[in-house]
Structure 1
């Protein structure tokens, strides 16, 4: 009986979240905000009507949706476009997140009386751009053929996928530094920083190796349903391995997006069928992704740190925006196109929702403050970035 009630609720959640998404689109706001609102209303910090089983499986559903949109993002990137965006994409993956993370570390010593290491733990939770918000928006622009002449959506797709690797690696690095300092153990920062480029290269290599295997097996088949099923299964497997084993040198998000890129490269004629199939999955996947992100938002938690958090975010996002502009020096982008890139790099949601509670769970001093400010960053920047992208792309980017 409990399973039947849970299943009925899941159907209701799908319709209710989709309804609010459409409603928000009617008032010229991104549908994802409506879906997040739906999640908050039904979730534990709203009316608390969500069955326990759904809350338990929500990380799986959210991960599946995230995997879907990352794979679609990879399929949207052509080899010729990568040659165009190489240097700025690398800089976008490193400079904004690094500058913002260290800016928050410094600001935390002033506003929160944290040590620099505590501040860096918070900084690199917040510093990651949200693939859940940015990637669907860029996929939509690719479908509409907007910004394609200069491959701007692809530039942001590639930069954002590696940006998360930088932020998450530095987050775990400073967590390790914190605990080793408590235990009186010396920490070798240089060796830890070497992990970042190695992790990026290794993760891309994994995506390439799996796609190469596909080239000589199922990609040869004419049946596009088999291609979609096996490609998506590979993506889910890549994500499962990271969630299960937590290898230090492996970032599944980057592997999945590179897997999509190489699938497109190896299956030049058939990749569009795979892309179309994944788009049909994403139609429902996005509902669960943003609804469950909304369920993680606890407004009561952020109330006591609202003004301090807002001040830190104002300065850190300003520093991040400078980092984006520095990364684009030497490109042929116009002022308007650079401004769009700044806006697109604002939103935070998935990484912050997933990592916000870790310092508190691990017993880091000030962990509850870190959780509050990380959730505040989602509340402010996810709508800000989504509305910004949605309302400015027609004005700032050219139709190709």
Structure 2
């Protein structure tokens, strides 16, 4: 495992640097590193690290969402109000509807299979979007209109909404039923997750005020509580949903509101952790990609992915109607809500492992959505934010 970690870090950093010199996203270099090192190409990664790949990717998500919470001011979100709520579910719903409209015609699959595919592809990637939005906040682009905050918050809740629908549709495909109780997991996951995170954040703010300790010790405590919150998510079943990742983000937000100066220092610590976590996340995501599936699908799946992206962008545009954002700012939001990666890598293979007839094609489209949208979205964000957003 130690050799595999060394190869991941050194090759990932090297490829990232090469792509940066070529004015391409570092993320693309990291993904390509994972594809080359993974079991479907050179097979240079130890099986032990691949067996815990999902857990390592989860840790990376925890790190970046905690950092997002520590930098997210709720007062900024109140400026955009209704749009912030709509961004949590409307774009994903539009993309799923687009899949229902296009996939049966393009790929010849059933509506239920298209619905499953739509929920796999419909989630955006906080791991791609959040670092980009944090960079915009640091450079103060679009912050007067709260655009980075709007996109970060929506992308985090979007995943909960999509994954609950995915669970319901795969249950139907296995011969089960989808009830209203299943859909109740969406609001309860969001509300209970944010509430639990807020309570933890307030308690941490009180503890940090009363007890003197180094910031490094505070980071270890926050990480430990984050792991417990995510573990709690997996232990709950039935209609009572709970989002551990939203709880992690909520904890950061509450701590930022109560102890702003501490949150700023901790955010700097987390930004250093992200250097290593980003490499692990995207190299291991790349290692899940089976290029053979992608090549075998031909142009039909690629056409489908771009088709449903149009539906997603229409959903984002609808969310922003009635806001004070100008045409360029709305276009940027539509671009920034494009990248897919972590959710697709996490659940793309589940229909295949369940033995569903659509499993192979769902995995193929999930893989292609990562390869197309993650680097393309990252590239377009980098190229357009200074042109479309106003500096503060």
Question: TM-score when scaled to structure 2?
Answer: 0.95
Q: CA deviation at 1:341?
A: 0.5
Gaps of 5+ in 2: none
Structure 2 match to 1:234: 225
Asked if 2 retains the 8 angstrom alpha-carbon contact of 1:221 and 1:227, the reply is: no
Q: CA deviation at 1:239?
A: 2.1
Q: CA deviation at 1:203?
A: 1.3
Q: 1:172, 1:163 → 2: CA distance? A: 15
Structure 1 match to 2:135: 140
Q: CA deviation at 1:219?
A: 4.8
Per-residue CA distance 1:293-320 (angstroms, 9 max, x = gap): 1111111012222312112112110010
Structure 1 match to 2:32: 37
Structure 1 residues 46 and 193, CA gap change in structure 2 (3 angstroms): same
Moved beyond 6 Å, runs of 4+? none
Per-residue CA distance 1:326-367 (angstroms, 9 max, x = gap): 000111111111111011111100000010110111121221
Q: 1:99, 1:298 → 2: CA distance? A: 28
Q: CA deviation at 1:244?
A: 5.7
The question of 1:67 aligning with 2:37 is answered: no
The question of 1:48 aligning with 2:43 is answered: yes
Structure 1 residues 245 and 42, CA gap change in structure 2 (3 angstroms): farther
Aligned residue for 2:87, secondary structure, equals helix
Q: 2:109, 2:196 → 1: CA distance? A: 38
Per-residue CA distance 1:125-170 (angstroms, 9 max, x = gap): 0000011111111111112222111111100000100111111111
Question: TM-score when scaled to structure 1?
Answer: 0.93
Structure 2 match to 1:3: none
- Alpha-carbon RMSD across the aligned residues, in angstroms, is 1.7
Asked if 1 retains the 8 angstrom alpha-carbon contact of 2:201 and 2:255, the reply is: yes
Q: 1:349, 1:11 → 2: CA distance? A: 23
Q: 2:327, 2:336 → 1: CA distance? A: 14
> How many residue pairs get matched?
390
Q: Identify the match of residue 322 of structure 1 among 314, 330, 333.
A: 314
Q: 2:257, 2:143 → 1: CA distance? A: 18
Q: Identify the match of residue 243 of structure 2 among 246, 251, 255.
A: 251
Question: Which stretch of structure 1 is more off in the superposition, 52-61 or 191-200?
Answer: 191-200
Q: CA deviation at 1:75?
A: 1.1
Q: CA deviation at 1:195?
A: 2.8
Aligned residue for 1:48, secondary structure, equals coil
Q: 2:18, 2:86 → 1: CA distance? A: 38
Gaps of 5+ in 1: 1-5
Asked if 1 retains the 8 angstrom alpha-carbon contact of 2:64 and 2:274, the reply is: yes
